[in-house]
Amino acid sequence: MRVLVTGGAGFIGSAVVAALRGRGHEGVVYDLVSGGDVRDRDAVGRALDGVDAVCHQAAMVGLGKGFEDAAAYVSSNDLGTAVLLSAMADAGVRGLVLAGSMVVYGEGRYECGRHGVVRPGPRDVADLDGGRFEPNCPVCGDELAPGLVGEDSPVDPRNVYATTKLAQEHLAASWARAVGGRTVSLRYHNVYGPGMPRDTPYAGVASFFRSALARGQSPRVFEDGGQRRDFVHVRDVASANVLALEALSDAAPFRAYNVGSGDPHTVGELAAALAAAHGGPAPVVTGEYRLGDVRHITADSARVRGELGWKPEVGFEEGIREFATAAGLRDPG
């Protein structure tokens, strides 16, 4: 299979290309660093020549610096996806695997002892300022128990990046219906591993911590460090992409899968594990917060395991040891 990998020189994209080659496929790199902009209709059309499917990893990621980034996110993620899909329609390429994200859900799954499964709204600034980070039951105000979020949970994007990732899915689903195509969206949870971008406000929390340690500084942990996440290694994410690509011929017009390790940890635990594996200094819990952040979001990945036969191979301890001692992080670009 010949697969065009947009963002193929990036953190996840390069791992996908390597995984494709390992399975006997050809990964064709199309990346902004080498002049491959998915918003360039003519260039995308040329790149699609002879391609069997597309693995769309190119995107502007992370929370960025604030709402002033909104136009850049929409241009990179949504306009770029629309141009790519239009070119695929013309080229007769009918298979797409999309880099989706857990951020489309907003907060994760919560259960109240009295009212069952509930969906708390955005956290109040006064609560955050007062160090009250846990969302409460929107009905009675009681404490909530966080659980695993499934793909059929309601979506509730709470920042610009999340909104663009959901729009990408809607665009891809519309394309699939219009042209008889097939789209798989892999909703990544917190991806980490060698090759992460460094020293940029658009990177993930693992990269922030690793960059600080490389400078001899303590990782700065927001809130109280109790935020639960599912940290999944980049090689496992790459293998999920390859399995999704191989299964496209039997896929529904649109299908979403959570891609998570199934082994949740708190952000504080991540920082402590990285610092220990790197040799210090110890993390500092700051109490700071970002309004676009959610408290807990962890994956129920039963669907991708059952339907695609995927399972993560890199455990948290092994992956963190490797990441903490990797030669260096990728320069942003």
d(CA 181, CA 163): 23
Sole residue written with tokens 């700051």: 286
Mean pLDDT of 44-63: 94
pLDDT for res 24:
98
**pTM greater than 0.85 (yes/no):** yes
pLDDT for res 326:
83
Fill in the amino acid letter for 56: H
Q: Examine the pLDDT at 332 and tell me if it is beyond 60.
A: no
- Res. 306 pLDDT band, cuts 50 70 90: very high
pLDDT for res 243:
98
pLDDT for res 291:
84
Q: How far is CA 170 from the centre of its chain?
A: 17
Q: Give burial (CB, 10 Å; 0-12/13-18/19+) of 234.
A: buried
Number of residues in the chain: 333
pLDDT digit string (tens) for 232-265? Answer: 999 999 999 999 999 999 999 999 999 999 999 9
